[in-house]
């Protein structure tokens, strides 16, 4: 282990882990933790749920997974509450101060301005990533690939919402297999500073190790400055990535 990583720690907030954890999204927390611990880092994970407070400025990385509309309604209501702190403002300030976020599907939608379901009122999001989402006529289900400037991401999408990226965010990449944000404009996911959102479940990070390491590097830099993560063997991770990508292309 290089001396530069000795004694460093990483603080992860798992937002609404009880409600928003569909299609193996918790595996993203496991991948982040393992790849950090294999480099000798100490990792703290705090699951923050409905009615609970987020400590301002504490966390390096926020993870927010997907869920059904029913869970999203409860979570959106909690995000709008002010009697236990303002979680949206806390996360917004953190992102402006170089914290990292990974948001998937329902969590991605609630990191945007709003999600309009088929039935019922619009759910307000916390507006960190400049995207809006609304339920569409079809459900997009299947393996998906997003080509980003740093590499391909492969995962599994299952959403009915159409998400549109506004000028305050950048598409995370181009969707080469699957529907991506909306099945129309070819974009996949979105990013603002170090906050990323996309529709890829599956879990995403175990089979996309380069992205896991990018998130870890950015999250560590917030309090510890630039770090270089020593490479890992990654044979299994690469095999998982290639096999998922092959399946995605084959079922396109």
**CB nearer ligand GLN, residue 36 or residue 179:** 179
Q: Which residues, at least 6 apart from 251, have a Cβ–Cβ distance to it below 8 Å?
A: 142, 143
The catalytically annotated residue of 59, 159, 194, 201 is 201
User: In sequence order, what are the beta bridge partners of 143?
Assistant: 156
User: Smaller CB distance to ligand GLN: residue 161 or 245?
Assistant: 161
- Give min distance, CB of 230 to ligand GLN, in A: 34
In angstroms, give the least distance from the CB of 199 to ligand GLN: 8
Nearer to ligand GLN, 102 or 105 (CB): 105
- Write down how long the chain is: 252
Task: Name the closest residue to ligand GLN (Cβ).
Answer: 66
Check if the beta carbon of residue 54 is closer than 8 Å to that of residue 91. Answer: yes
Cα–Cα dist 232/41, whole Å: 14
Active site residue 59: no
Instruction: Please check whether residue 212 is in contact with residue 205, taking contact to mean a CB–CB distance below 8 angstroms.
Output: yes
Please state, in angstroms and rounded to a whole number, the distance separating the CA atoms of residues 196 and 107: 10
Shorter beta-carbon distance to ligand GLN: residue 171 or 202: 202
Binding interface with ligand GLN (CB under 6 A): 22, 66-67, 69, 72, 105-106, 158-161
- Which member of 105, 159, 198, 241 is catalytic? 105
For residue 198, indicate whether it is catalytic. Answer: no
* Tally: H helices and E strands in the chain: 6, 11
- Smallest gap from residue 136 Cβ to ligand GLN (A): 8
Which active-site residues does the annotation give? 105, 201
């Amino acid at each position: 282990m290089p001396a530069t990583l000795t004694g460093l720690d990483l603080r992860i907030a798992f937002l609404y882990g009880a409600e928003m954890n569909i299609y193996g999204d918790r595996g993203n927390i496991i991948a982040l933790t393992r790849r950090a611990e294999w480099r000798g880092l100490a990792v703290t994970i705090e699951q923050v749920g409905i009615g609970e407070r987020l400590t301002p400025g504490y966390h390096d990385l926020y993870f927010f997974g997907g869920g059904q509309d029913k869970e999203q309604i409860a979570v959106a209501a909690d995000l709008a509450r002010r009697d236990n702190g303002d979680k949206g403002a806390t996360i917004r300030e953190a992102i402006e101060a170089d914290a990292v976020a990974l948001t998937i599907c329902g969590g991605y939608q609630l990191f945007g301005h709003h999600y309009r379901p088929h039935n019922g009122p619009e759910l307000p999001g916390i507006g960190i990533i400049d995207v809006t989402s609304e339920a569409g006529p079809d459900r997009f289900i299947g393996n998906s690939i997003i080509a980003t400037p740093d590499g391909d991401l492969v995962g599994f999408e299952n959403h009915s919402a159409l998400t549109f990226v506004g000028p305050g965010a950048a598409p995370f990449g181009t969707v080469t297999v699957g529907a991506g944000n909306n099945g129309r404009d070819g974009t996949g996911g979105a990013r603002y500073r170090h906050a990323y959102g996309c529709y890829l479940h599956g879990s995403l990070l175990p089979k996309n190790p380069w992205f896991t390491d990018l998130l870890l590097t950015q999250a560590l830099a917030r309090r510890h400055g630039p770090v270089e993560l020593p490479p890992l063997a990654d044979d299994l991770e690469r095999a998982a990535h290639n096999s998922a990508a092959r399946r995605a292309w084959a079922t396109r």
